[in-house]
Amino acid sequence: MERYVIEQKLKSFAAFLVIVILLPYIVSVFVNGADLSAESGGSAFYVKVKVPDTEEADGVAEIGWTDYLAGILAREVPAEFGEEAMKAQAVLIRTQIYRELSSSEEKILDMDHMTREEMKKQWGQEKASEYYEKYKRAVEQTDDTVLMYGEGYAWTPFHQSSCGMTRSAEEVMGTGEYPYIAVRECPDDKEADNEIQVFTFTYAQIQEACRDFLVAAADGEQAEKGYTFADFEIMAYDSAGYVSQLRIGDTLCTGDQFRDAMGLPSSSFSFSEAQGEEGSLRVTTAGNGHGLGMSLWTAEKLDENGNTYEEILSFFFEGTEIRKDIQETELF
């Protein structure tokens, strides 16, 4: 009997020690949510991510959830950005991942992210630690927050800067599925870094780069004689000022087709003859990116003007709902 009592006391004491050790973590997770990183810098749970350079045979590695989100932010948002703009981007990233996971059976993520080692190489030890903590805060302070449209996750595209207005998804994609992605005036984008860029291409270079959609519409004679400046004409713009249709010889194509083929930063562009370079076309672009959804440049300006991340998201995605009751573990 005495031995039984002693064993029970030892078990009770052991259970007490476990509670004492785990209590701070349990309280922290309860208060701060699933995105919380442990004191060591690790994340509360891990996700499977496709990593080309991993030693794993299947090219998949397990990465801490918070580290992964912070690493994606580091790829997409300058470290100098304000915290509200950064938090807005964290919500867009999380929503995009959830949207993909909700329709995926594999549950393996593939968004490009910056590792802690890459941060150290790019910024040095001290700055890397400072910037990482800033990115991590943006993730933690928007814990479980996503954008919803109806009962589904919203589509949350973003770009570096527009040509002065963001684009309508209905105009660009020909569908009314995303009414919340509409034209938004972003006058500050006109002052963005590398907002205006100029490129010069020979007509032969353009013919080669665009051959996939030129050959299908152009006859052999046109392809053989090549192109001149008279063969390039912008036919229509969308309501945001992006080229929606242009003519190259006898071929009609979209501005986005031309942008992708030529590797241009934007499909808001104009043509002119390249002076002093015979047989060449000058292309002047405005903006950086596809122009849909949130402009990171304007998001930062809204942050500087005192707007919260909720207000930034509401400006770019009017009609969506910001929800904070979504749990990551339900999707993995």
pLDDT tens for the chain, 332 residues long, are 444 444 555 455 455 444 444 444 433 333 334 443 333 344 567 888 887 766 655 788 889 999 999 999 999 999 999 999 999 999 999 999 999 888 777 778 889 999 999 999 999 999 999 999 999 999 999 999 999 999 999 999 999 999 999 999 999 999 999 999 999 999 999 999 999 999 999 999 999 999 988 876 555 666 667 899 999 999 999 999 999 999 999 899 999 999 999 999 999 999 999 887 788 999 999 999 999 999 999 999 999 999 999 999 999 999 999 998 665 556 55
pLDDT for the residue numbered 331: 59
Strand pairing report for 158-159 and 294-295:
parallel
Q: Contact 88/318 with Cβ under 8 angstroms?
A: no
pLDDT value of position 304: 98
- Residues 44, 37 contacting (CB under 8 angstroms): yes
pTM for the whole structure: 0.82
* Tokens 């785990």 sit on residue: 22
pLDDT for residue 12: 57
Query: Which pLDDT does position 238 carry in this prediction?
Result: 97
Q: What is the CA radius of gyration of the chain?
A: 26
Q: Is the dihedral of CA 105, 110, 114, 117 positive or negative?
A: positive
